[in-house]
Amino acid sequence: MTTKTKVDSVAETRKLLSDCGLRTTAARLAVIHWLKRANSPATHAEIAADMVPLGFDKATVLRNLTDLVEAGLVTRKELGDRVWRFELRDASHPEGCEHAHFICVECGSVTCLHEFEMPKPAMTSVLQVGSVSEILVRGRCKGCQ
């Protein structure tokens, strides 16, 4: 595991939000804490499934996710299956592309490949490559093999 932003207390999350010019709201705190516990990108539906019982409706969850994406605290990815997934941005990587992802072609589960370093010089040496926004590895997860 690399340096996923370690912000455990509400105070630290509050600071993270104010540093990005966002007000701290119960929904934003709940969304960030949910994403901190997740260890792979999650869909709006997965996040909302846990948030709705806490009293946040789906639209509120989506609006707050969007605010956090716009503020740069959360990344939104489409991993080739036309589903948007959200995860906390790795603060140690200012660029949009911080680590690769593995997606299972059978069950659709997504795993973060933190050890997979972006081979930037190798890729930009290919003339057609402008900038890389996502590295995606497809295969079958252990459960589906």
Give the footprint of Zn ion on this chain (CB under 5 A). Answer: 87, 104, 106-107, 112, 141, 144
Between CA 144 and CA 104 the distance in angstroms is 8
Place of tokens 């707050």: 64
3-state secondary structure of 31: helix
Smallest separation, CB 112 to Zn ion (Å): 3
Instruction: Give whichever of 81 and 106 is closer to Zn ion, judged by the CB atom.
Output: 106
Smallest separation, CB 113 to Zn ion (Å): 8
Q: How far apart are the first and last CA of the chain?
A: 24
Instruction: Give whichever of 23 and 142 is closer to Zn ion, judged by the CB atom.
Output: 142
Smallest separation, CB 70 to Zn ion (Å): 19
Instruction: Give whichever of 8 and 115 is closer to Zn ion, judged by the CB atom.
Output: 115
Nearest one of 78, 134, 132 to 108, comparing CA atoms: 78
